[in-house]
Amino acid sequence: RPKPEPSAAAPLVVKTTGPEQRVVGEIARFIIEVTNAGTTPLKNVKVVDRYDPAFLMPKLATDDYYLEGRNLAWTIQTLSAGQSIPLEVQCLCQAAAAKTCNRVTVTTPDGARAESEACLEIRAPGATPPSTTPPAPASEGLAMEVVGLRNPVAAGKDLFYEIRVTNN
């Protein structure tokens, strides 16, 4: 994956992360992190998230998104100097693909631009993935992980959590 770099016009950085592989019918979780690496605030920062709807269908996204054609978009009113804002999109993997990508473009009204992408392979159900690491030793019982989906959260706003339980 290419390393995100600040635009020449402004210190705008975007980094997109997601899974490397999923199976048809599973959810792929993408995190988009928009950062102002400069020393002055950026206003009206627009984030557009693009994907191929034949393979990825958004099912859940960070609040305050709007549709721009088939794409999801957000407008960040003010991005303070040094501030990073995470956005999340969870997509249903709809069909097998050797490679499909979630591509993000971030722009400001003064012309600053940054881009990032996270690509993955979507396997057909029942396909066995190539082994890249040895299996982890099994432990008994249940494992639980709790992740806040929007952090920080403004006073008076709802905070959503994702709770993952694994039967070891």
Residue 87 reports pLDDT greater than 70: yes
Residue 9 reports pLDDT greater than 70: no
Element (H, E) at 79: strand 71-79
- Nearest CA to 19 out of 127, 126, 100, 137 is that of 100
Q: Higher-confidence residue: 33 or 134?
A: 33
- Cα angle 123, 129, 130; round to 5: 135
Mean pLDDT over all residues of the chain? 82
Confidence band, pLDDT 50/70/90 cuts, at residue 125: confident
Whether the pTM exceeds 0.75: the reply is no
Q: pLDDT tens digits for 69-82?
A: 999 999 999 999 99
Distance CA 10, CA 34 (A): 13
Residue 7: per-residue pLDDT: 41
Distance CA 88, CA 96 (A): 22
